[in-house]
Structure 1
Amino acid sequence: MFRIVLGCILWASVAVSFTLPDKCTVFSESHNECNPVAPASFLPAFQDTAFKSKIRSEHTDGSSLFADLLEALNVTQSEFFAPWLGTWPDAIDWTAAVIGTHVSGATRSISQDPIFFISNDHDTINWRWTSNLVDKYFTQLVGYYFGQDAFAIRNEAYDDMLWVVLGWLETIKLVNTYDELYFTPVGANLSEAAPGAADEAFDEIINQPYHGTTWLPAFSHRARIFWDLASRGWDTKLCNGGMIWNPRLLPYKNAITNELFIAASISMYFHFPGDDNESPFSDRPDNFNPTDPDSDRSSGPRDARYLKAAVEGYRWLRNSNMTNEQGLFVDGFHISGYLDENNNNTRCDARDEMVFTYNQGVILTGQRGLWDATGAPSFLKDGHRLIQNVIKATGYDLKSDSPIEDLSELKASVLPRWHGLGRLGIMEEYCDASATCSQDGQTFKGIFFHHLTAFCAPLETPPADLKLLVHDRAFTQISRSHAEACKSYSGWLRHNVLAALETRDASGRFGQWWTAGLLAGAWTGAWPTRADDKIPDDPDATDYRNYGVPDNAAWRSSVSMLAPAQTPRKYGSREDQIPLGRAAEQEQTPPGTVKRGHNAKDPNNRGRARTVETQSGGLGLLRAYWHISRIP
């Protein structure tokens, strides 16, 4: 069993390079080591007692919100999932992995709140309704296990592989949560209810764990295989560490791949149950730590290599200078002069200033997991600072708990000011207002809210198997501060939810551009294009997620690394991340899509229109609001 001593040693070395303010951690092996000083609050200094009281007094119509969450999940699966194929046919490999993650998370949320499944007599919980819903979505996830093109993803970029890891770990959490809540053996002699049955045999058959636990070895094996494959992207020759995005392009160390590696690694540490299946495709030792004497053994729960990977990854990312003046993560770094034979530069010194919402989200799971493993308050402090930077960048003021602009003073057909990640307090991608989002861009906002939900879960004491002591006073203070800060985000979440709900069509499908839910009543004429969306152009920002990887020296070598038939992708296709040698995919218009410029009355019918990816955005937002608004 891995002892936390190694983790403490690793963390101590990281803390020095980070120059973190923590004098010691809340979790330790001895209360005599230090006396941790808990931060008074994770809230900004301007939030006074009156504001905090306002947040605590805010109430939510739980039954209505729960119904919206249920409907969003149902539409995701009834409108877009094909059970006979075991996938969402219009999704691509990585977006399908993300959608599966949303479905697992939302199903887990449903299983945790059966109180909303009250029978007609308004007295008892209808367990038939609850179990039928949970089993319905769980069996669809099992179908997706077989529908997922695991062979193709093995040849894609490292971030694509890591979405797979997070997806199956989320399903493992669903299974374990449901099993622990409702299927813990009661120890009773159940055979008394069946006279004539053999007591022991009957008890053994009936008193079983949740049937979903049968699938844990399969889910955990896939998670482990893809973590092993992705770890090959860790590179120490360039930029002193960090994950490379795509092995088929010039070295590019971007935020999302490194955030995913951190989040997936710490999630493997906590939620991976072990895997003794050495086949197929296991070729240890893994690249992340090939000198580890244990790197060729089967992974078990609480494997130290995952904690080490998360700590090292976070150390690199935090020192990488990958945040802009607004405190938001930009996309990543190139290495200038990489193709010049006379240039021996190995530093990440050419920063791409593009900002995407999902780059602000995935790291939150990593920060929360590293707090859970170490008890270092700086991880929570970093996370709350990032969340508050994001909220401000949407044009929302936490001090007044309202948008910066007065919504009553909106001018007809004038697009409100862009604040960095949105306008009018509503989160946006750069591509939203102009309806130029690809499948990538349509998936990003939901990812942010999924990881915000994970970060804001109530703090818990360390699992017993870590054998850690807790500094009770510091833990109580930090738990209160964390809950209070997360609760303060509920007004912003509610504002986004109300706008997003207004973009649903008659079938309940969410649109991509949520701000339109606030503008529809005050807008006449044509909706904005990229030329008039009021977003400043930055020559150092490349929107390759929506317009494709440029065919230039910053991204590709002079000798093309792609097959001749594979050119930079067109709008909506995936030619920049497909494996070498595969024929270029043809651009297809999803069913129900209205081409750009059509149906001016509904701005969310432009571009790719409503898709399973836009639906996942609404689902992730509703789930975040469901959990965070109900924090005590």
Structure 2
Amino acid sequence: MFSRVACLGRPSWAILCLLSSSAVLGSVLQNGDDRPLAEKELIFGPENQNVLQIIPVDPKPPSSNPAYPKPLGMSPAAVTSALQDLHSALSVMQSTYFSLWLGKWTTAIDWTAAVLGTHLSSTLSSLSHSLSYTLPGTFDKTVKLDVEAQMVENEINKYFAQSIAYFFGEDAFAIRMEAYDDMLWVVLGWLESMNFINSHSERHYPLTEGIIREESEWHGKQFIPAFAHRARVFYELAEQGWDWELCSGGMLWSPHTLPYKNAITNQLFISAAVSMYLYFPGDDNCSPFMSDQESGVRANFKMGKQDMDECDERMKGKSTYDPIYLASAINGYKWLKNSGMMNEKGLYVDGFHIHDYGKNGTIGTGKCDERNEMVYTYNQGVILSGLRGLWEATGNLTYLEDGHELIRNVIRATGWTDTDTPTIFLTESQHQHDTTKRPSVSNHQAHDQTWSGLGSSGILTELCDPYGTCSQNGQTFKGIFFHHLTNFCTPLPTSATTPGKTFAASKDTATLHQRSCNEYAPWVIHNARSALRTRDEKGRFGMWWGTGLASHGHDFESDTPPAGRLPNRNDPLRPSLPEDATDHQNPVPSSISRCGRFPSDREGQEQPCTTGDLNDRGRGRTVETQGGGVAVVRAMWEFLRHFNKG
């Protein structure tokens, strides 16, 4: 069963066909095995690595330089392999790093665990869409679809049970005392889980006439009230970080430090607020936080009857499409867009301090006038979900345009160049191609090998990657970007989910949005393939996806970067801190071995570089780097799955 894919009309693309979801999974199951299907095991293990096949459409032999790979085409084998690699990546993340009896990824910290939970739920959504089936049904082991459906459903139920375990293993009491951004990762994580639960139930457990709704729905729906309560509690804690006094608005990063208004906290607030508007199902559980409606001060105390009555009154109408959530998101993005937090490349820098704050007991200038020029990958990603949600909630196409412009800026900042494709505008007055030639992203024959701000040779790279000095925070960032990129590029609905509360796209707008996202697909595949090549014999992903560059004459080990600042050597690939930038997320230790190991990694003893694997340096392969692998491979699968819709 095949479905036709639209040709984009560029020389570097071929007319392609993608397998349908059923055929994709079926081909994975067959895998050259002639046993009866019911006797086979569904295996997605690390031994199946490096099977992603991208069919070249250029008959010329490829360049020997990996920085200039041959043009990428897409084939049914590529689609099948992407799904197989996604199964494998998730399996390794859960079997290697997750402890079921503790309900947590034992080596993660609070906020990175919340991100891992988000990756888990979003991947389950992808697996749910990988095959069409209806349950409950009559299982027949001689029917291929029944066997495949049971395998997929069993896998989804297995991992969802682990998500439930994480709900109880998550240290909610500790996180509520942490920074505002930590709280907001929790909000986004449980909203993602609720979206998965609803979509999986609607897709595979449709209502049957004569059967009570609760009996026909997927069992996971019983957990929505608990997940919704946690999302609400942490949103209400985090929203206290909004401050009008300094910088005329914006979220503070933390209540425990000098005021810092940074990109990630504000982007998280925007995305969380609009997601609460669109997806929050309501919550009638008032514990453990109450709100004084006059002062807005929240407290944790034992509730009497009057308190309960006030709680019940306050919670009336607190459900999906609460206009307060939407207003917060709109105000948040308006402030962020006008804050001056973008650099000359159109990328978000880390954030602002207030000059002379605290001097002589004053607020100093009270303005965001000391900008940290550090650029991180995740600061370009989280806002994409917010922009997508703001469009659906308001119908304002400029939100989508801002998102596409940011994505193109990011891709150019990795050294992926093309000057032949015009920019596509989405606003009704500009539903045509701009005649001005501007750098775009679709020509994968041209890769700039110099450091371009967020990578080189088209590979998204954290500045700390080549040195092996990324912290636990930094190891999480690239996966976050690809998760939110995938959310942004989900096809636009052409009918409103709730007329009067949400908006739909016209046919032209939906097509133009998808066509733009299709242009990003080769870059996404390029990054996913690069990430897949970092896997070790156990299927664990490395942090630096561009290690192939170092194996072709670019030595990143010969010099030890001094504390506080990375060197700017003659090698054009070597990244260096921008002027006026401080890398708070990945501080360079005072002592690093030439292998990039921290002193504590090997009990303070210098060890020779024996493996030759650049991803063994520093913290090495971790649950955070595995989460990044899951996110980028999921992005590849989703971009391939939606490719024919443009």
TM range (shorter): 0.7 to 0.9
1:257 maps to which of 251, 259, 265 = 265
Residue in 2 that maps onto 1:318: 337
Cα 1:218/1:123, change in 2 over 3 Å: closer
Q: Secondary structure at the match of 2:335?
A: helix
Percent same amino acid at aligned positions?
Answer: 46
Residue in 2 that maps onto 1:235: 243
Would you say 1:178 and 2:207 are equivalent positions?
Answer: no
Residue in 2 that maps onto 1:19: none
1:159-558 aligned at under 5 Å gives the runs 159-187=181-209, 203-204=211-212, 207-283=215-291, 285=293, 296-298=314-316, 299-341=318-360, 344-399=364-419, 401-402=443-444, 404-405=446-447, 416-461=449-494, 463-467=496-500, 475-520=506-551, 526=557, 529-530=560-561, 531=567, 534-547=574-587
Cα 1:594/1:394, change in 2 over 3 Å: farther
Higher relative contact order (CA 8 A, sep 6+): 1
* CA–CA separation in structure 1 for the residues paired with 2:145 and 2:326: 46
More moved, 207-216 vs 276-285: 276-285
Would you say 1:612 and 2:634 are equivalent positions?
Answer: no
Q: Secondary structure at the match of 2:634?
A: helix
* Contact kept in structure 2, 1:231 and 1:287, CA below 8 Å: no
* CA–CA separation in structure 2 for the residues paired with 1:162 and 1:509: 28
Residue in 2 that maps onto 1:599: 610
1:128 maps to which of 147, 150, 167 = 150
Gaps of 5+ in 2: 1-7, 18-72, 135-139, 299-310, 420-441, 562-566, 593-597
* CA–CA separation in structure 2 for the residues paired with 1:349 and 1:142: 44
Residue in 1 that maps onto 2:10: 50
Q: Secondary structure at the match of 2:319?
A: coil
Give the superposition deviation at 1:125. 5.1
Give the superposition deviation at 1:244. 0.1
Q: Secondary structure at the match of 1:349?
A: strand
Cα 1:97/1:590, change in 2 over 3 Å: farther
Give the superposition deviation at 1:447. 0.1
* CA–CA separation in structure 1 for the residues paired with 2:273 and 2:502: 24
Gaps of 5+ in 1: 1-47, 189-202, 407-415, 549-568, 573-585
Give the superposition deviation at 1:597. 6.3
* CA–CA separation in structure 2 for the residues paired with 1:55 and 1:571: 53
* Contact kept in structure 2, 1:403 and 1:425, CA below 8 Å: no
Cα 1:547/1:112, change in 2 over 3 Å: same
The letter of the residue matching 1:505 is D
* Contact kept in structure 2, 1:395 and 1:403, CA below 8 Å: no
Give the superposition deviation at 1:495. 1.0
* CA–CA separation in structure 2 for the residues paired with 1:62 and 1:116: 20
* CA–CA separation in structure 1 for the residues paired with 2:376 and 2:294: 30
Q: Secondary structure at the match of 1:135?
A: helix
* Contact kept in structure 2, 1:115 and 1:125, CA below 8 Å: no
* CA–CA separation in structure 1 for the residues paired with 2:110 and 2:127: 26
**TM-score, normalised relative to structure 1:** 0.77
Residue in 2 that maps onto 1:554: none
* CA–CA separation in structure 2 for the residues paired with 1:329 and 1:525: 27
* Contact kept in structure 2, 1:356 and 1:429, CA below 8 Å: yes
Residue in 2 that maps onto 1:145: 167
The letter of the residue matching 1:420 is G
* Contact kept in structure 2, 1:107 and 1:174, CA below 8 Å: yes
The letter of the residue matching 1:156 is E
The letter of the residue matching 1:315 is K
* Contact kept in structure 2, 1:353 and 1:542, CA below 8 Å: yes
CA RMSD of aligned residues (A): 3.3
Residue in 1 that maps onto 2:176: 154
* Contact kept in structure 2, 1:55 and 1:487, CA below 8 Å: no
Give the superposition deviation at 1:528. 6.6
The letter of the residue matching 1:371 is W
Q: Secondary structure at the match of 1:141?
A: helix
Give the superposition deviation at 1:123. 5.7
* CA–CA separation in structure 1 for the residues paired with 2:579 and 2:195: 43
* CA–CA separation in structure 2 for the residues paired with 1:605 and 1:351: 34
Cα 1:371/1:205, change in 2 over 3 Å: closer
Would you say 1:106 and 2:123 are equivalent positions?
Answer: yes
Q: Secondary structure at the match of 2:473?
A: helix
* Contact kept in structure 1, 2:251 and 2:266, CA below 8 Å: yes
Cα 1:295/1:87, change in 2 over 3 Å: same
* Contact kept in structure 2, 1:503 and 1:517, CA below 8 Å: no
* CA–CA separation in structure 2 for the residues paired with 1:167 and 1:287: 29
Please list the CA deviations of residues 388-432 of structure 1 after superposition, one character each: whole Å capped at 9, or x if unmatched: 0000000111456226447xxxxxxxxx52110001110000100
Cα 1:287/1:495, change in 2 over 3 Å: farther
* Contact kept in structure 2, 1:242 and 1:316, CA below 8 Å: yes
Residue in 2 that maps onto 1:88: 105
The letter of the residue matching 1:272 is F
* Contact kept in structure 1, 2:79 and 2:640, CA below 8 Å: no
Give the superposition deviation at 1:337. 1.3
Cα 1:321/1:571, change in 2 over 3 Å: farther
* CA–CA separation in structure 1 for the residues paired with 2:165 and 2:380: 31
* CA–CA separation in structure 1 for the residues paired with 2:630 and 2:464: 20
Which 4+ residue blocks in structure 1 deviate beyond 4 angstroms? 51-58, 115-125, 203-206, 284-290, 468-471, 521-529, 569-572, 586-591, 593-597
* CA–CA separation in structure 1 for the residues paired with 2:178 and 2:581: 24
* CA–CA separation in structure 2 for the residues paired with 1:287 and 1:97: 31
* CA–CA separation in structure 2 for the residues paired with 1:171 and 1:142: 10
Aligned length: 525
* CA–CA separation in structure 1 for the residues paired with 2:255 and 2:192: 27
Give the superposition deviation at 1:297. 3.2
Give the superposition deviation at 1:629. 2.3
Q: Secondary structure at the match of 2:368?
A: coil
Cα 1:139/1:185, change in 2 over 3 Å: same
* CA–CA separation in structure 1 for the residues paired with 2:502 and 2:95: 47
Q: Secondary structure at the match of 2:551?
A: helix
* Contact kept in structure 2, 1:570 and 1:587, CA below 8 Å: no
